[in-house]
Amino acid sequence: MEKISEILEKDEDNYTEKLEKEIEELKRKINENKKQENKFISKIINLKINTKQENTNKTSKIISIAGNNGQAKALLTIKISKKLKRKKLKTLIIDLDLLNMKTFEILNIKNKEEQSLKIEDHIVNKNKYLSLLSGKNLLFKINEKIHAEEIKKIIEKLKEKYEYIIVNTSLECFFELNKMILEQTDTIYLVIEKSIEELMELKNITKIYWENWKIEKTKFNIILAQKKNMELKILNEIPYNTKKEENGTSTNKYT
């Protein structure tokens, strides 16, 4: 972009030719970045779709996004949901990060404030394949708090309608509910922004999930990301691996 600006400012005789060349190079780089990102997103959500099986053996999956950074979690949630949309898979985002509600903000969607007992009345449809549900509406029925077991049943019911449910979890409120969600989750992505502070905080976060909540470690993938304005660049994925030791026993650890 800087080169393009420079060419325009100089206004040389052959600037059109130079400009076209730089624009083509810019397009190539953008397309290459998109291909790499799409490849990575497809990998982390493990999309192995067989068209024939899709109609006969449909199984809904729950993906949970965990961590401390509200905006980074929301951006990863939306990034995955957009990939699922391109695959034409019906997806529901449940935003349990009530102190931030960043998914609604980023997607420019206003939450419903329906005085209804039906959970369907609280779901906001972004488009044909993507819908959102606020954790506030999931937790309360006309100012009456719902029991965690009832929420578990609601989610099981929602799985009949949606092929993927992505839950933006929280470490700041409703601990029991978030713990229950993570226990029911198929895959958990723990997103950490590339900064010394967040990397140091990683030990404290995993202690809550693994030691206090006893969430199965093999569900976890750590996503190292870099946030700039309203964009999230995924730098690396660190899956939980099982390695066999010389004595034949298996140990689970991050590598």
| Tens digits of residue pLDDT in 120-136 | 888 889 889 999 988 77
* Residue-level pLDDT at 189: 93
Average the pLDDT over 27-34 and give the result: 76
Q: Does the structure show a pLDDT above 90 at 23?
A: no
pLDDT for residue 54? 46
In terms of residues, how long is the chain? Answer: 255
> Where do the DSSP E strands lie in the chain?
61-66, 91-95, 124-125, 130-134, 140-141, 144-145, 164-168, 187-193, 220-228, 231-244, 250-254
- Kindly report which listed range (12-26, 58-72, 78-92) carries the lowest average pLDDT score: 12-26
Is the pLDDT assigned to residue 250 strictly greater than 50? no
Cβ pair 148, 96 in contact under 8 A: no
CA distance 222 to 82: 20
DSSP single-letter state for residue 195: S
Residue pair 233/240 in contact (Cβ under 8 Å)? The answer is no
* Lowest mean pLDDT across 164-173, 179-188, 234-243: 234-243
| pTM recorded for the entire structure | 0.72
**Confidence at 46, pLDDT banded by 50, 70, 90:** low
Question: What value does the mean pLDDT of the chain take?
Answer: 78
Place of tokens 């493990």: 46
Summarize the confidence of residues 164-178 as an average pLDDT: 84
What's the whole-number mean pLDDT along residues 88-95? Answer: 92
Q: Tell me the CATH architecture of domain 48-254.
A: 3-Layer(aba) Sandwich (3.40)
Give whichever of 100-104, 109-113, 124-128, 164-168 has the largest mean pLDDT: 164-168
pLDDT score of 48 more than 50: no
What proportion of the chain, given as a percentage, has pLDDT over 70? Answer: 72
**Using a CB cutoff of 8 Å and minimum separation of 24, what contacts does 11-19 make?**
none
